Structure 1
């Protein structure tokens, strides 16, 4: 099947042809016709499946071919809400490219930067607005944005949205949207709280599910070092003694951990910087540029902040912390070894993460090569089942306290 067979209009096909996009992905094949038919969508899909084009292309077509959009002052007709700044920017860039031959206007708003240029863009008129929840509500409260003309609403990465504590913001937004609208809801996972939120948003939705990514590129070499928690730092320094490893995207589970790893690397004379949700947007953009041009050797990122980062010919990914979700591992390492290029994914595994490695191997249906040349081998024993239960309970308590404090400080 080609994009032309999906009945897309010529202005969109012309833009896609410039990028040599010919064959749609699975989610695009399923979603585009349903969105064009003005159905609500409940989509289960990860980042990296072509999800943005699956909703962006039909939204642009519906608005471009709607005669009422031309009449009077340009007002926001479609709202796309996503959890992170990087994702918002990425979606906006895609909209600009796909819609370059349409007459539609787009804008993106997010926190962490001054609002002046964003307000100016809104004042010039916007057909499609991409936004993160906090800045969106802020500008609504200031009177710069009205949502009463919204025809199409998109909630992207809903599970991440809830993980980041945005549930109350989303519920506030829903009250401001017209009852009569088309809604598109995308989430990588569908636990009960996500299903409940979807039920509040959608009317008689079409369910679209794309199988999660479960394999890495064949050109990607995967290896794991089994070590102790106390020796991870020393092992990382040992690995980075190899000067061939000149550009590394390193993943940390937490923002605090990312800052600590960065501090340790700098202390060892290694050019490094962290990128996560607590960093200002201008810092994040600057750091990303420095990493791309080679002035930073190691970019330390959390999973949420890394969404939207796309680096050509990245050869090395290091998992300083093994992710608890096996699919997250596949997405992390998939940032290397793209488009037939070679790549290497290195994982540092402490005893409590041994089970996570086994879960990853079950998902990808292959054994990860164990690195024998390891001066810091694993000697500690994992926690007992009871110790792990207590540990997880305490971790959950701290997480709930964090988000409660965050909500109360707003």
Structure 2
């Protein structure tokens, strides 16, 4: 920019207006620029999206994802699904995990070439694949018709990223559904997530509210556990419900994260208990009886009764 003549005209667009973008505008445009806003400057979730949050252990997420996908595939027209994870390695791991059920899945992340990304997105757009696993590289600017579900397998680092992720569904005045697996390591985001849900008139999972109210204690306790060597690594997300971080990995008061469900009526996102579904070879449901071993498939807090 320093090499451009001073009487230049600069126009800058941004879908959002966080402090980082404001600072960028001031750096390049100076203090006398004209700003035009369309809509509110406050970042908020699309109210056409139903949001569900499952407070669970890291080691439970693979099993719960399988149960959730089983529910979605039970429906006559499941539509397209995008699943967000935190790392490129996790994209590859989760893609293999889902492929293991005989379901075709596409994947994109920063190490993929532009040609590979274009091919994957083309397959996703035209319906050759209905599931896309991605890092945040796809969270902004991705506009694909027919995305009915967004699943946050790994919760993002900020509420802004969360809103951008779930915004891949519910576009063009349509409705959509988002899910998020939320673990103790996400505790610092709990209050912001509660605020987002409340602003969008969604119900609040009591376990999430508890975590929001006690985030500092949870974070400090987990730091202490890691220092003393008792924190564990949380277990593999793709294990069989392994015991990583038991006693320290749960979101609830007793330490265990919703083993057997939250115990509160109306918390399970469970359209039906049929054992037949079209997602993988489930032998009578999600991991033989569901993710919670009580017949329910996941523990997503229901919203908008």
2:147 counterpart residue number: 314
Which residue does 1:349 correspond to in 2?
A: 182
Hey, which of these two has a bigger chunk of strand by percent?
1
> Equivalent residue for 1:119?
none
1:89-108 alignment runs, 5 A limit: none
Find the counterpart in structure 2 of residue 254 from structure 1: 87
1:351-392 deviation per Cα after TM superposition (whole angstroms, max 9, x unaligned): 2224424312213424445499xxxxxxxx95426829x99x
Query: What is the rounded CA distance, in whole Å, between the counterparts of 2:81 and 2:46 in structure 1?
Result: 18
1:194 deviates by 6.3
- Where does structure 2 lack aligned partners over 5 or more consecutive residues? 208-216, 228-305
Aligned counterpart, 1:24: none
Which residue of structure 1 aligns with residue 42 of structure 2? 212
| Cα 1:386/1:335, change in 2 over 3 Å | closer
Kindly report which structure 2 residues correspond to 1:392-407, keeping only aligned pairs within 5 A, or say none: none
Task: Answer yes or no: is 1:387 the counterpart of 2:193.
Answer: no
Quick one: higher RCO (CA 8 Å, sep 6+), 1 or 2? 2
Distance across 1 between alignment mates of 2:172 and 2:26: 39
1:240 matches 2:69? yes
How far apart are the structure 1 equivalents of 2:119 and 2:206? 35
From the CA coordinates, give the structure whose radius of gyration is larger: 1
| Aligned-partner Cα distance in 2 for 1:198–1:318 | 33
Q: Deviations over 1:158-178 (max 9, x none)?
A: xxxxxxxxxxxxxxxx24433
Q: Aligned equivalents of 2:155 and 2:46: distance in 1?
A: 16
Query: What's the CA shift string for 1:9-30, capped at 9, x where partnerless?
Result: xxxxxxxxxxxxxxxxxxxxxx
CA contact (8 A) 1:276 1:304 kept: yes
1:225 to 43, 46, 54: 54
Q: 1:310 to 1:183 in 2, by over 3 A?
A: same
Aligned pairs, how many? 206
User: What does the per-residue CA deviation read over 1:151-205, in whole Å, with 9 as the maximum and x for residues that have no partner?
Assistant: xxxxxxxxxxxxxxxxxxxxxxx244333211234553224x962x544422422
CA contact (8 A) 2:51 2:197 kept: no
2:10 corresponds, among 177, 183, 188, to: 183
- Counterpart residue number, 2:130: 297
Unaligned stretches of 5+ in structure 1? 1-173, 373-380, 392-410
Secondary structure, aligned partner of 2:11: strand
Aligned to 2:303: none
- Counterpart CA distance in 2 for 1:199 and 1:358 is 30
C-alpha deviation, 1:294, in angstroms: 2.0
CA distance in 1, matches of 2:222, 2:59: 22
Q: In structure 1, which of residues 332, 346, 367 is the aligned counterpart of residue 165 of structure 2?
A: 332
8 Å contact from structure 1 (residues 227, 349) kept in 2: yes
TM-score (norm 1): 0.44
Distance 1:251 1:304, change over 3 A: same
| Pairwise CA RMSD | 3.1
CA distance in 2, matches of 1:371, 1:274: 33
Deviation sequence 1:321-375 (CA, Å, 0-9, x none) = 2223223322322222234433211111112224424312213424445499xxx
1:359 paired with 2:187, answer no
Distance 1:224 1:364, change over 3 A: closer
Quick check: 1:250–1:317 contact (8 Å CA) kept in 2? yes
The answer as to whether partners of 1:226 and 1:348 remain within 8 angstroms in 2 is yes
Correspondence 1:284 to 2:284: no
| Pair 1:198–1:327, CA change in 2 (3 A) | closer
